[in-house]
Structure 1
Amino acid sequence: MSITSDHASGLHRLRRPTFAELYLPKLVTVWREGYGVADFRADVFAGLTVAIVALPLSMAIAIASGVTPDRGLYTAVVGGFIVSLLGGSRFQIGGPAGAFIVLVAVTAERHGVDGVILATMMAGLFLIAAGLLRVGTYIKFIPYPVTVGFTAGIAVIIFASQLRDLSGITLAGKEPSEFVPKLAALAAGLPTINPSAVTVAIGSIAIIAALRVWRPSWPGILIAVVFAAVVCAVFSLPVETIGSRFGGIPRELPSPALPAFSIAKAKAVLPDAISFALLAAIESLLSAVVADGMTGRRHRSNCELVAQGVANVGSALFGGICVTGLIARTATNIRAGARGPLAGMLHAVFLLLFMLIAAPLASYIPLAALAAVLVVVAWTMAEKQEFATLLRSSWGDAVVLLATFLLTIFRDLTEGILVGFALGAVLFIHRMAEMTGIEERTPLVAADRPDDGNGERVPYDPGLAIDRDVLVYRITGAFFFGAASAIGGVLDGIAEKRKGLVVDFAAVPFLDSTAANVLGRVAVKAHRQGIRLFITGASPAVRRALLTHGVTPPRARYRETIARAVADIKAGAAKPAADDAATA
């Protein structure tokens, strides 16, 4: 796979990045670019906004993970501060994640809280090593259907884990951690449903959903939790609270201490530590990619892994659980107007202040309200539209998606990712084998499609792209998940002053859903910046894949040749041609 850029500056050539380009924290980059008072004010507001969202979520995730709510706050304060301080993304917010709920819960059940803390520290060391070994560069090889499948599977697991608190069911014994036994135990406990808990949960979900529609800028999660706590206290509703189950939360951070360690214990939690590290790497880099798509920036993947590793070690020292980048809170940070990593650091500082000032009030928070918060989180994180798109995309993508999804739910998250990746690799090999063959070619004699005498299309005239208003790229070879990140990085660097961008697919025999999704993001960005994007030379199969993933007019238009696309850009034609209508 290669990509060349034909304009006055010549070809893009790969070079080995320097150490600073790989590991310099974005905090330093932002400071060097010039950081003023206005930027600080924006980061203060964004940090406060994210802290308000993170406060109930951190406690809810910790409870669902089988540990006390204070450990979720320790994770958000310590881990969140370090992620922003050392991270390779300007806007990344770190803390406890819903994706870890099942892993942490199972580890706590097998090895106790000490085992969770030890596994978290070991995972941090693994992440530091992975970053220094530049493994972050290769996370891009995880196919898009795998990420969508395990995210949807995690959402289902989170929802199932909250059914007990959501309905106030009383179980005779300990709630099983496995999916099917959990549902069986909950079904047996249906006669013990607490109507008050159900009412509180439904009311909390309704408040969050209503505020997202009518007042999206308001902190709906915090408002719902506070309202539920006030109602339960005023009317003395018989629902379980943080105080009744855990006795409240402390008003300060504990002193740092190494977790209990022994060789036997380390061997016992090693598989869990590897799972923690794998999921943290995937989740954090996926969050960084989402942030890049929202802002047009580029994160440093290996720097981010090192920061995540240090954050996990720091969290473990203070008794916290796993830390990773959080897509929802990172997006909230960006929408709140953050200018740099200081917003994430301030979010951690605000959380610490909330602990110091309002810790006694947390005792009144009903667990049903926190369960409702996680149900909303599960609904939001399940990429429903992407899931449906992949099911329609092709049978191969559907198989990878469903295998990852079902294994994540019924077996194990790590197993789901590994099997999904293996199936994706086999599927890619199969598709490449299908593309190998021989066919009879007829000469191309149209005026704008010259022929070299052998029935083959000759290279386009480089003079077409010398105009500084037009940028022309030609992608060569199979455009699949392994190359999508590199090519996406080049295409993301669209100059804002360009009038048009042409991406030639004439030499692309195949592209998969990951690559199509990357080009979809490029199309959205170009359309937002007023750049006219043209796709040329795409085969019917490639065009169908692109259309399925949103590369449609007016975001992108299709032409047979580069010459025609460049002519249309220079003419500034606003009305799509006939072949545009055919692709709509």
Structure 2
Amino acid sequence: MKWTGRFSGYSADAFRKDLISGCIVGIVAIPLGMAFSIASGVKPEYGLYTTIIAGILISLFGGSRFQIGGPTGAFIPILLAIVLQYGYENLLIAGFLAGIILVLMGVFRLGALIKFIPRPVTIGFTAGIAVTIFSGQISNFLGLTGVGRHEYFLPNMAEIIKRLPTLNIYSILTACICMAALVLTPKYLPKVPASLIGIIVSTLAAAWLFPGQVTTIGSAYGAIPGGLPGFHPISLTWDRIVLMIQPALIIAMLGGIESLLSAVVADGMTGTRHNSNRELIGQGIANIVTPFFGGIPATGAIARTATNIKSGATSPFSGIIHGIIVLFVVVLFAPYASRIPLASMAPILMLVAWNMSERKSFAHMLKTRSGDSIILVVTFLLTVFTTLTTAVEVGLILAVLLFVKRMSETLTVDKVLPDPSSANEKIKAHMVTEDHDCPQIGIFNVEGPLFFGASQAFEDSGLQLTGRHQKVVMLRIGKVPFMDTTGEANFTRLIKRLHHKAVTVIVSGIQPQPRALLSKTGTLAIIGEDRIFEQTGDALDAAINLIQVDKCSGCKHFAFRECTELSRKAPLHQNIS
């Protein structure tokens, strides 16, 4: 996607639309930026700085016209775990390294690979992240005090139960007011950002009805500084790079998945097409720069991108404007944000978790009661009870094993014969019976990929095939689309076994990839170029020319149309029926 393509035909009317949509998305992004950063274990201003800097850079350098970037809910469990284990400064290093990884992924055109992550895995860890986000806000919703934050789900739940006696009724009232605003605003004021209304109404209610009774952003984290984001140098050492490379890989992987999913959603809503590799580069640049201003990792935000499109955006200018609006608000109104109760933030994040939970897709996949259901549940449970890294690794391994099993089951080897009642005497398996089977020629259909996962199935079929007493074996492999080196080794071993038993092997319908592999390994030379045919008819003619005619005398099988003539020509003293 060229720069000119992103802004071709840009006009004053298009700018007006981008200005409106950018303002709307900017207003939506402000409470979310603070909420996501607080839930990630860092100060709220760092979420706002991420929204500003990453939001502008992703729109400038990304591969989607409508993508809105910034901190997202999907990152919360990962970032919180990194902060708890390594600290905030090391989180910045992890974000910086993740940015480099994303740029490299884009440069080496790996954007398409992320799309191959199985759907049960993505739905499983997304639902697991949603549970983690939701459960992480229970303490703020209830106004519990002295709650320690832990990396894993069960210790966090135990901590909440332990601190239940510190429950604050005023926090619950504040959270309920915010939740009511979140539910009612879309119904009665659909064009107004519900999260902003929820925060304003609940903050005003808490300040007026029970001042000083609930914990606020200011009392918990200190006042949010106004003004421009300051430069925040990060200390890059080799030891720190080695320490944070694994967390960086996790951030890069999830950021890549999230951003490309968001871009696909935008494509579906607008009929456009994003450039996945450029999108990764844009995401990478944003994550390289943002840590130098204290910002946390960012990616494409699906909900904000959808809001951007619905608000009438026409180009990446809307994303740039959204970052400028947030900067404007931070410069002028940051001190007021310090008065927002934490109980007002909790319902917003709970609603985010509910919306991202993929509950319908989750339930639908469970109903299939298939291998995918197992992958889904395992990935979900591991995401909740262990770490996202473990969940994705195990989920992918299970998906690969399931894929190999399914593919191995598609391989079939059937003995076949022509059906004289069908047009062109098509080759069919049901024609072979005890009384209708040529004693000299065996025709076998091989269907499915010949690869390591199907090695046992092919080996078993090969043993049955070499156990027969035919003079000629004809292998129809036109429906073998792929062959790996394991499949080639098994195939070659079968050919050599048949040759050892003085059986002539004829092959028909070989596809380009298997042909190229068998040519490189010398198997085609073993078979003989004069024994390899494109069409089944030519291969069958060659096979019939190789049989011993004298053994056709008295044969009652009549497997081929030529059998009548061959039986007539054969000496009468032979009888093999």
TM-score, L = length of structure 2: 0.72
Q: Which residue of 2 aligns with 1:161?
A: 136
Q: Given the alignment of the two structures, is residue 204 of structure 1 paired with residue 169 of structure 2, yes or no?
A: no
Contact conserved, 2:174 with 2:203, CA < 8 A, in 1?
Answer: no
Size of the aligned set, in residue pairs, is 433
Residue 199 (structure 2) aligned to one of 225, 230, 247:
225
In the alignment, is residue 235 of structure 1 matched against residue 209 of structure 2? yes
2:279 is equivalent to residue 304 of structure 1: yes
Letter in 2 for 1:454: K
Q: 1:127, 1:373 → 2: CA distance?
A: 29
In percent, how many aligned pairs have the same letter?
Answer: 42
2:465 corresponds in structure 1 to: none
The equivalent of 1:568 in structure 2 is none
Name the SS for the 2:144 alignment partner: coil
Counterparts of 1:288 and 1:441, CA distance in 2: 50
The answer for the alignment partner of 1:42 in structure 2 is 17
Corresponding residue for residue 99 of structure 1: 74
- Specify the alignment match of 1:264 in structure 2: 239
Letter in 2 for 1:146: V
2:384 alignment partner in structure 1: 409
Match status 1:29 vs 2:1: no
1:254 CA drift (Å): 2.9
Alpha-carbon separation, structure 2, partners of 1:455 and 1:39: 63
Partners of 2:179 and 2:418 lie apart in 1 by 64
> Which residue, out of 426, 429, 451, partners 1:454?
426
Q: Find the counterpart in structure 2 of residue 281 from structure 1.
A: 256
Judged with a 3 Å threshold, the aligned counterparts in structure 2 of structure 1 residues 353 and 508 are, in CA distance, closer, same or farther, namely farther
Map of 2:350 onto structure 1: 375
Deviation at 1:385, TM superposition (A): 0.7
Tell me what 1:389 maps to: 364
Aligned pair in 2 of structure 1 residues 134, 196: CA closer, same or farther (>3 Å)? same
Q: Aligned AA for 2:407? A: M
Letter of the 2:166 counterpart: T
State whether residues 148 and 386 of structure 1, in contact with CA within 8 Å, keep that contact through their aligned partners in structure 2.
yes
> Aligned partners of 1:336 and 1:89: how far apart in 2?
16
Aligned to 1:525: none
User: Aligned AA for 2:176?
Assistant: I
Note if 1:362 corresponds to 2:337: yes
Equivalent residues of 1:250, 1:359 under 8 A apart: yes
Q: Distance in 2 between matches of 1:164 and 1:302?
A: 40
2:89 is aligned to: 114
Once the two structures are TM-superposed, the CA of residue 444 in structure 1 deviates from its matched residue by: 11
Residue matched to 1:61: 36
Report the 3-state secondary structure (helix = DSSP H, G, I; strand = E; otherwise coil) of the residue aligned with 1:364.
Answer: coil
Give secondary structure in 2 for the equivalent of 1:277.
helix
Partner of 2:269 in structure 1? Answer: 294
CA-CA distance at 1:324 after TM superposition: 0.5
Q: Determine the structure 2 residue equivalent to 1:6.
A: none
Residue 508 (structure 1) shift? 13
Q: 1:442 to 1:275 in 2, by over 3 A?
A: same
Q: In the superposition, relative to structure 1, how do residues 231 and 440 fare at CA in structure 2: closer, same or farther (>3 Å)?
A: farther
Residue 344 of structure 1, CA deviation: 0.7
Alpha-carbon contact 2:260-2:276 (below 8 Å) kept: yes
Kindly state the Cα deviation for residue 451 of structure 1 after the two structures are TM-superposed.
5.1
The one-character-per-residue Cα deviations of 1:382-410 (angstroms, maximum 9, x if unpaired) are 11111111112341110111111111111
Q: Could you tell me how far apart the structure 2 residues matched to 1:441 and 1:355 are?
A: 76
Q: Secondary structure at the match of 1:170?
A: coil
1:74 equivalent to 2:49? Answer yes
Distance in 2 of aligned mates of 1:379 and 1:508: 46
One of 373, 384, 405 as aligned partner of 1:430? 405
Report the aligned-residue RMSD: 2.4
Match of 1:247 in 2: 222
1:134 and 2:104 are equivalent in the alignment: no
Change (3 A) 1:395 1:252: same
Q: Which amino acid aligns with 2:160?
A: L
How big is the shift at 1:197?
A: 0.6
- Inter-CA distance 185–170: structure 2 relative to 1 (3 Å threshold): same
Paired amino acid for 1:412? T
Cα separation, partners in 2 of 1:85 and 1:444, compared to 1, 3 Å? farther
1:186 to 145, 157, 160: 160
Q: Distance in 2 between matches of 1:441 and 1:354?
A: 76
Alignment of 1:534-545 (within 5 A): none
Q: In 2, Cα distance between the equivalents of 1:354 and 1:64?
A: 21
Q: Is the 8 A contact 1:443 1:451 kept in 2?
A: no
Q: In structure 2, give the amino acid aligned to 1:123.
A: A
Q: Which structure exhibits the higher relative contact order, with contacts defined as CA atoms closer than 8 Å and separated by 6 or more residues?
A: 1
Greater shift in the superposed pair: 189-198 or 256-265: 256-265
What amino acid maps onto 2:154 in structure 1? V
- Structure 2 residue matching 1:151: 3-state secondary structure: helix
CA offset digits 1:501-544 (Å, max 9, x no partner): xxxxxx999xxxxxxxxxxxxxxxxxxxxxxxxxxxxxxxxxxx
Query: 1:215: how far off?
Result: 2.9
SS of the residue corresponding to residue 195 of structure 2 reads helix
The runs of 5 or more residues in structure 1 that have no matched partner are 1-20, 457-476, 479-506, 510-584
Distance 2:386 2:140 in 1: 24
Note the C-alpha offset of 1:134.
Answer: 1.2
Tell me how far apart the structure 2 counterparts of residues 316 and 44 of structure 1 sit (CA, whole Å): 27
The aligned counterpart of 2:27 is: 52
In structure 2, how many angstroms separate the alpha carbons of the residues matched to 1:162 and 1:392?
30
Residue 236 of structure 1 aligns to which amino acid in structure 2?
F
**Are 2:41 and 2:80, in contact at CA under 8 Å, matched by a contact in 1?**
yes
* Cα separation, partners in 2 of 1:86 and 1:451, compared to 1, 3 Å: farther
| Structure 2: runs of 5+ lacking an equivalent | 429-447, 450-478, 482-577
The CA deviation string for residues 279-299 of structure 1, in whole angstroms up to 9 with x for no partner, is: 111111111111112222111
Compute the displacement of 1:438 (Å).
4.9
Distance 1:41 1:188, change over 3 A: same
CA drift of 1:263 comes to 2.0
Identify the match of residue 216 of structure 1 among 190, 196, 199: 190
AA of the residue aligned to 1:405? F
Contact 1:62–1:71 (Cα < 8 Å) also in 2: yes
Give the CA deviation at 1:359: 0.9
For residues 106 and 314 of structure 1, the distance between their equivalents in structure 2, rounded to whole angstroms, comes to 22
CA contact (8 A) 1:253 1:318 kept: no
Report deviation, 1:202.
1.7
- On the 8 A contact 2:177/2:201 being kept in 1, the answer is no
Q: Which residue of 2 aligns with 1:195?
A: 169
Alignment match, 2:453: none
Q: Describe the SS at the equivalent of 2:278.
A: helix
**Offset at 1:428?**
1.3
